[in-house]
């Protein structure tokens, strides 16, 4: 059984095309043709590599001194070659997978994307957070040291008021395992933050807005809860593992994808932080109650922060968003938790010192 | 006998690859890379290059990339070893309390292997590339490139970066000037000064037009790359010319962005095939080299280490 077609042959030594007549023996899968130098070439189909370029089938044969090429445009002849290869199981799993069609590839692509998404949303934060346990607490201190020297360099640390603030905190039980250190900064910023090493920085701007010491207790309780749960470190590990995962996946895609991925990661980390805020709210509330301080101070504090925040930063961009939901949750807690409030004149006195 | 006056030849570049074919390759690569925890990467890369080269045609004959996953896997392991040693040294120095020196050693090390990576990847990739069975080749000298590279780096540092324009153009001239296509030679004529002026103009016009000019800037960069290319064989030559306009680039870039964003990245394959098609549709060749007379001259070279080092460093292939 022989089939014949015209083809173009390149001998791998020169780029000059040679017109040849190829004969395919469909019994043993041999292509035979005569070159311009009158040599007879016999190519075994099983030894060739195949590539479709447009409507042309291109066969390549690795020869000791180079690569010889045979081009076939006759589609019936090309089909006969494909038929022989199929019947003789010369088509590997890879080629089969490529030939399985656009629909299959699309489904496969969506499944992979889905798996990547699920891993990113569920597995990576978990791994990131668990990896915190592997990081020694001493690293928290090192990191905070760098942060303090970088960020508080130009701030006006009030040492007298910091002493008062420390005395204030000493009157409280903050559930801390780690020694807490309080710094009071004279600056008109309505904020406070906690560093992993137990340093809690409070700005005069937020204290000036407060009416009663119970609000300051709520604030310190909230920040202490952040420290107690190593929230900053967890956040860092989550962000870092998320970032590593995304760059590993998109590594060889391209710049646009990497940028999108980056933004997705930072949005995701904002909702991480919200989750941590809620935890700190809950535990901060417990601290307030434990110290027999009026928990309504926490509500007042939130309202003040909310008034302050409303006009400036859209909620989804803020890392300390005071949402209606947080206020509602706290109000619920105030109602449902039995509490015993005792006025504390010492706290009241220290609070007044801080105010001016 | 009198030689015939060299007549003008006809040349046609094209890219025939279809987005959906490439999509299949990308997805299967993805799957296998994930299943093998990344080990498939060199094979995936070989498949990608085989497709991209194999679908690019000159006068309807395809280029071909003959590099294999196995060759690149070996290169991948060697590259991994190089980086492991560098990081090992840094780790050891950090452990001994010399963190600063450790980081310095790491950066200097990475810096020092850059010219080696450029040399290695060109050598490998060119020797594995053919057209009608005629191999490309890279004849640059490693020691010479290293010397030049550091000389240019030095100039760039002492001119506070201004020389980087000459750096890029000199490097391109050196690398491209050493590319052989059988018995024909590639050549690049770009000059750092012209390139700098073009980029300064592009930068300021882009700012003044709120970014709109960036497409024309892109067009000028492409033009500067393409129009300075030529191929020489004996006393004959082929000149490369870009036919792309700024508006063409708007079409390319805007649609590419939309394709990526609205398909969650799955449109990547079409972005690549469109871009390849765009590039080859907008390069016009004119000259008098008879392509049928090209002869095999370049050796077969199989070490893929440079290829993978450049991958690790995230360097683009065309410098």
Quick: pLDDT tens for A83-107: 888 888 778 888 888 888 888 888 9
Instruction: With a cut of 80, say whether residue A323 has pLDDT above it.
Output: no
Note the pLDDT of residue A153: 61
Q: Do A66 and B31 touch (CB under 8 A)?
A: no
Burial code (b: 16+ CB inside 10 Å, e: under 16) for B220-252 equals: bebbbbbebbbbebeeebbebebebeeebbbeb
- Pairwise CA distance, residues A210 & A307, whole Å: 13
User: For residue A26, with 0-12 CB atoms within 10 Å meaning exposed, 13-18 middle and 19 or more buried, which class applies?
Assistant: middle
**φ, ψ of residue B233 in degrees (nearest 5):** -145, 120
Note the pLDDT of residue A314: 42
Percent of chain A surpassing pLDDT 70: 83
Closest partner CB to A112 (pick from B24, B34, B55): B34
Answer whether 0.80 is exceeded by the pTM.
no
Give yes or no for B205 touching A (CB within 8 A): no
Q: Where are the alpha helices (DSSP H) in B36-141?
A: 41-54, 69-95, 99-127
pLDDT tens track for B164-182: 999 999 999 999 999 999 8
User: For residue B142, with 0-12 CB atoms within 10 Å meaning exposed, 13-18 middle and 19 or more buried, which class applies?
Assistant: middle
Instruction: With a cut of 90, say whether residue A39 has pLDDT above it.
Output: no
Provide, as residue numbers in chain A, all residues whose Cβ is less than 8 Å from the Cβ of B12.
Answer: none
pLDDT band for position A315 (cuts 50, 70, 90): very low
Sign of CA dihedral A135, A136, A142, A148: positive
CATH no. of A2-98: 2.30.29.30
pLDDT tens track for A150-193: 666 667 778 888 899 999 988 888 888 888 889 898 888 777 87
Question: Could you report the predicted ipTM of this complex, rounded to two decimals?
Answer: 0.76
User: For residue A127, with 0-12 CB atoms within 10 Å meaning exposed, 13-18 middle and 19 or more buried, which class applies?
Assistant: middle
Q: Between the ranges A194-208, A300-314, B225-239, where is the mean pLDDT highest?
A: B225-239
The encoded tokens of residue B112 equal 């020092």
Q: Specify whether the CB–CB gap between A350 and A164 falls below 8 A.
A: yes
Stretch (H or E) spanning A52? strand A49-53
Furthest-apart CA atoms within chain A: distance in Å: 112
pLDDT band for position B198 (cuts 50, 70, 90): very high
Burial code (b: 16+ CB inside 10 Å, e: under 16) for A180-192 equals: bbbbbbeeeebeb
**Which positions ≥6 away from A74 have C-beta within 8 Å?**
A5, A6, A7
Provide, as residue numbers in chain B, all residues whose Cβ is less than 8 Å from the Cβ of A69.
Answer: 64, 132-133
- Pairwise CA distance, residues A265 & B47, whole Å: 31
Mutate to test the interface with B, among A51, A95, A103, A109 (most CBs of B within 10 A): A109
Percent of chain B surpassing pLDDT 90: 45
Specify the domain boundaries for CATH 2.30.29.30 within chain A. Answer: 2-98
Go through chain A and tell me how many residues it has.
Answer: 356
Provide, as residue numbers in chain B, all residues whose Cβ is less than 8 Å from the Cβ of A65.
Answer: 296
Smallest Cα–Cα separation from B136: which of A58, A67, A71?
Answer: A67
Q: Do B295 and A60 touch (CB under 8 A)?
A: no
Give yes or no for B295 touching A (CB within 8 A): yes
Q: What is the mean pLDDT of residues B130-159?
A: 91
Note the pLDDT of residue B260: 84
Q: What angle do CA B92, B97, B102 make, to 5 degrees?
A: 50
Mutate to test the interface with A, among B22, B128, B133 (most CBs of A within 10 A): B133
């Amino acid at each position: 059984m022989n089939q014949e077609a015209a083809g173009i042959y390149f001998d791998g030594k020169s780029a000059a095309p040679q017109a040849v007549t190829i004969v395919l023996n469909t019994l043993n899968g041999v292509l035979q043709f005569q070159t311009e130098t009158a040599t007879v070439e016999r190519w075994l189909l099983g030894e060739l590599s195949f590539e479709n370029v447009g409507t042309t089938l291109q066969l390549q044969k690795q020869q000791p001194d180079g690569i010889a090429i045979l081009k076939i445009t006759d589609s019936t002849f090309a089909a006969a070659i494909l038929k022989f290869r199929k019947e003789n199981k010369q088509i590997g799993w890879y080629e089969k997978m490529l030939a399985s069609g656009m629909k299959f590839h699309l489904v496969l692509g969506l499944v992979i994307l889905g798996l990547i998404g699920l891993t990113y949303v569920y597995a990576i934060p978990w791994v990131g957070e668990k990896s915190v346990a592997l990081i020694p607490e001493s690293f928290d201190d090192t990191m905070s040291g760098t942060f303090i020297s970088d960020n508080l360099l130009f701030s006006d640390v009030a040492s007298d008021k910091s002493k008062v603030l420390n005395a204030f905190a000493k009157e409280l039980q903050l559930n801390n395992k780690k020694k807490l250190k309080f710094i009071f900064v004279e600056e008109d910023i309505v904020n406070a933050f906690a560093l992993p090493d137990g340093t809690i920085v409070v700005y005069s701007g937020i204290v000036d807005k407060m009416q009663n010491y119970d609000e300051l207790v709520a604030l310190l309780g909230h920040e202490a809860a952040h420290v107690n749960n190593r929230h900053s470190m967890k956040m860092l590990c989550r962000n870092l593992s998320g970032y590593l995962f995304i760059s590993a996946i998109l590594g060889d895609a391209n710049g646009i994808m990497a940028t999108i991925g980056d933004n997705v990661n930072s949005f995701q980390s904002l909702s991480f932080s919200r989750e941590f805020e809620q935890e700190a709210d809950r535990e901060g509330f417990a601290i307030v109650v434990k110290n027999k301080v009026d928990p309504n101070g926490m509500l007042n504090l939130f309202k003040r922060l909310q008034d302050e925040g409303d006009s400036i930063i859209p909620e989804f961009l803020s890392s300390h968003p005071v949402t209606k939901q947080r206020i509602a949750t706290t109000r619920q807690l105030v109602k449902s938790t039995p509490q015993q409030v005792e006025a504390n004149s010492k706290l009241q006195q220290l609070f007044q010192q801080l105010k001016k | 006998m009198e030689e015939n006056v060299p007549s003008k030849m006809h040349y046609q570049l094209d890219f025939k690859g279809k987005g959906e074919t490439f999509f299949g390759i990308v997805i299967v690569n993805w799957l296998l890379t994930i299943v093998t925890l990344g080990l498939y990467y060199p094979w995936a890369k070989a498949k990608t290059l085989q497709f991209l080269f194999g679908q690019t045609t000159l006068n309807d004959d395809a280029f071909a990339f003959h590099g294999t996953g196995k060759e690149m896997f070996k290169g991948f392991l060697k590259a991994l070893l190089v980086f492991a040693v560098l990081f090992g040294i840094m780790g050891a120095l950090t452990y001994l309390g010399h963190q600063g020196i450790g980081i310095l050693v790491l950066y200097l090390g990475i810096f020092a292997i850059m010219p080696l990576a450029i040399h290695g990847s060109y050598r490998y990739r060119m020797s594995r590339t053919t057209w009608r069975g005629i191999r490309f080749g890279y004849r640059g000298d490693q020691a010479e490139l290293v010397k030049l590279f550091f000389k240019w780096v030095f100039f760039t540092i002492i001119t506070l970066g201004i020389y980087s324009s000459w750096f890029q153009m000199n490097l391109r001239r050196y690398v491209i000037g050493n590319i052989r296509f059988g018995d024909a030679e590639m050549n690049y004529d770009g000059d750092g000064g012209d390139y700098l002026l073009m980029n300064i103009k592009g930068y300021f016009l882009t700012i003044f037009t709120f970014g709109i000019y960036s497409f024309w800037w892109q067009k000028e960069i492409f033009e500067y790359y393409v129009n300075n290319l030529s191929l020489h064989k004996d006393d004959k030559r082929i000149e490369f010319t870009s036919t792309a306009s700024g508006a063409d680039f708007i079409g390319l870039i805007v649609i590419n962005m939309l394709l990526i964003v609205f398909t969650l990245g799955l449109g990547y394959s079409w972005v690549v095939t469109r871009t390849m098609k765009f590039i080859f549709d907008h390069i016009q060749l004119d000259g008098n080299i008879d392509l049928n007379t090209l002869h095999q001259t370049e050796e077969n070279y199989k070490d893929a280490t440079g290829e993978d080092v450049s991958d690790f460093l995230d360097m683009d292939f065309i410098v």
